[in-house]
Amino acid sequence: MAVDKDTVAKIAHLARIRITEAESAALTGELSNIIDWFEQLAALDTEGVPPMTSVVAREAPLVADEVTDGGQAEAIVKNAPEPAHGFFAVPKVVE
């Protein structure tokens, strides 16, 4: 499938990017090559090939959930501009 300059202009408009006439000519060729590549991929027979989430077939290691307070409350509150009683103090927004 060939991409023409009108299609490139429409894509650029949708992407909110400004391109020059020279860039439009270059992008026409590049987008045509990309679409040709996808057409090659679509022509492959993938019948019986299971879907993959990674090229490496392995299970993600499971880690037991453990609830903690993090043990760093003082270090975190130290970054607050106005800490109050070990908590972040924020301005009142609701009256």
Domain locations in the chain as residue ranges: 5-42
Note the CATH number of domain 5-42.
Answer: 1.10.20
Task: Give the tens place of pLDDT for each residue, 6-54.
Answer: 999 999 999 999 999 999 999 999 999 999 999 999 899 989 988 888 8
Residue 8 Cα distances to 11, 32, 37, 77, 90, angstroms: 5, 10, 17, 52, 49
DSSP summary character for residue 94: -
Query: Rounded to two decimals, what is the model's pTM?
Result: 0.49
Give pLDDT, residue 31: 93
Structure tokens at 33: 């090559």
CB 35 within 8 A of CB 8: no
Give pLDDT, residue 38: 92
Task: Give the tens place of pLDDT for each residue, 68-93.
Answer: 878 888 888 888 888 888 888 888 88
Give pLDDT, residue 50: 86
